[in-house]
Amino acid sequence: MHTSLPPPPPAFVFPVRVYYEDTDAGGVVYYANYLRFCERARTEWLRALGVEQQRLLAERGALFVVRHVRADYLAPARLDDSLTVESTIHDMRNVSVLFSQRIFREDKLLFTAEVKIVSVSSAAGRPIPWPDAVRAQLSPLSS
């Protein structure tokens, strides 16, 4: 019996242009800025899904914080490059989401990262379960 694999989870694709402010003295993207590009992509994905972080903070006291990052720098991006940040959700747990992110210049893979985000109470500073609205939006996107 032949079984087909399930389709991969949907990816969110976010374009980024490299500006002078993103580069070091050699015109290469400064290493920390790849993480900034990934942060922007995750934030815009949540926004596109209708997840309003400021509203969750005001109404539920929930913050989203980075708990862990694993990054691999494969090739440099340079001034004026047009990049694409591709984001998928690798795993969703009760209080955490593991994002897989890749940055491309055209078809060339430049950077990969796994970023674990945790839902935290702003008052207590401790992990709390994802709000139901967030879980409803993100769970179907998890692989």
DSSP 102-121: EEEETTEEEEEEEEEEEEEE
Pick the catalytic residue from 24, 72, 80, 91: 24
Total-model pTM: 0.88
d(CA 119, CA 63): 6
Considering only residues 50 and 118, tell me which one the structure prediction assigns the higher pLDDT.
Answer: 118
User: Beta strands of 1-143 (E only): which ranges?
Assistant: 12-17, 62-73, 82-92, 96-105, 108-121
Q: Assess whether 24 carries a catalytic annotation.
A: yes
pLDDT digits (tens, 9 = 90+) for 59-105: 888 899 999 999 999 999 999 999 999 999 999 999 999 999 999 99
59 three-class SS: helix
Spell out the domains of the chain, with CATH numbers in brackets.
12-141 (3.10.129.10)
pLDDT recorded at residue 40: 97
Which pLDDT belongs to residue 17? Answer: 98
